[in-house]
Amino acid sequence: MRGNRTMGAFIEAPVGLQFGCDKGAHMQMVAEASEVDVLDAALRRSWSEVQGWVGDRIPHILKFVRELHDTRKIEGDILEIGVHHGKLFFLLSAASRDNERCIAVDLFEDQQKNLDRSGKGSLAIFNQHLQELFPDYISRVTAISADSMSLTPATARERLGVTGVRLMSVDGGHTVAHVMNDMEIAQELLVPGGIILLDDFLGVHWPTVTEGFYRYMQIANRRLAPFLIFQNKLFLTTFSEQPETLTRLRSFLDRTLPNEIHSGRWRYATVGDHSVLSFA
């Protein structure tokens, strides 16, 4: 298990997000469900039931991605490398459309190849959660047991059965080599305007992710550009779409977080040569 991760928001569900298990609470859940955004509903289920690492406000950014991709008519599949038990993956699935596939890639039981012990995938637990908590997504989801280091940008499309990906999480092995490898795969699969979430960017317990990212940017990047740092993740899109994505993100935040955006917790920072919004 990946240890030493200490941010409160990543460990305990806020009281308002906890599920009761008596019948009355269930009735309340059902009543709420019709009013609750599908992303918030997925977080509630995933937060309390699925072990893993997800910031409590990631759904807010996924709402931005959904709006962006709907407005710009961007289509593609959903992919995560490094799924563990599926905590983030089920949120990403909640952002998928009926005709999109959701691909979960992990070593799963092949843990001797988990060289830096980042998480510990389990296909059995993942499948159990999928069936019990997210049955609506079963037909869209494919779980693939694979070492991402055995994939190349040239073979990934065929091995994973995807044509283009519009939303992808990179959260597998955390060594410099894994991050560079997985980012290179990501840049080849991403459709124009697609979004990548790189986990543990600037995270103090996994400095190799940050080192791997900057090495990737210097040596191998040909088309990705970051636009947001939020809850332990770096968000990237394709180079040509980065300025518009950043502008649209700012408008979304002005609209949805009108007080917080001026509270000092948000600012513009620079990552590589790119202006990004950052939240702390």
Ligand X SMILES: C[S@@+](CC[C@H](N)C(=O)[O-])C[C@H]1O[C@@H](n2cnc3c(N)ncnc32)[C@H](O)[C@@H]1O
Nearer to ligand X, 99 or 112 (CB): 112
The piece of 7-15, 23-31, 105-113, 183-191 that touches ligand X (CB under 6 A) is 105-113
Closer to ligand X at the Cβ: 96 or 242?
A: 96
Per-position x/- string for 207-236, each x denoting binding to ligand X as judged by CB under 6 A, each - no binding: ------------------------------
Q: Judged by CB under 6 A, does residue 95 bind ligand X?
A: no
Contact between residue 74 and residue 166 where contact means Cβ atoms under 8 Å apart: yes
Least Cα distance to 272 among 208, 189, 215 occurs for 215
Contact pattern from residue 168 through residue 207 relative to ligand X, giving x for each residue in contact according to CB under 6 A and a dash for the rest: ---xxx----x-----------------------------
| Residue 249 CB, nearest approach to ligand X (Å) | 22
**x/- letters, 31..60, toward ligand X (CB under 6 A):** ---------------------xxx------
Contact 185, 96 (CB under 8 A): no
Quote the tokens at residue 55: 């910031």
**Token pair belonging to 188:** 């080849």
The Cα–Cα gap between 132 and 251 comes to 37
Q: Does 87 bind ligand X (CB under 6 A)?
A: yes
Q: Where are the beta strands (DSSP E) in the chain?
A: 77-81, 102-106, 141-145, 165-170, 190-199, 224-230, 233-238, 266-271, 274-279
Query: Total number of residues binding ligand X (CB under 6 A)?
Result: 26
Phi, psi of 269 (to 5 degrees): -125, 175
What does the block give as tokens for 18? 């906890």
Q: Which residues bind ligand X (CB under 6 A)?
A: 2, 52-54, 81-84, 87-88, 105-107, 113-114, 118-121, 147-149, 171-173, 178
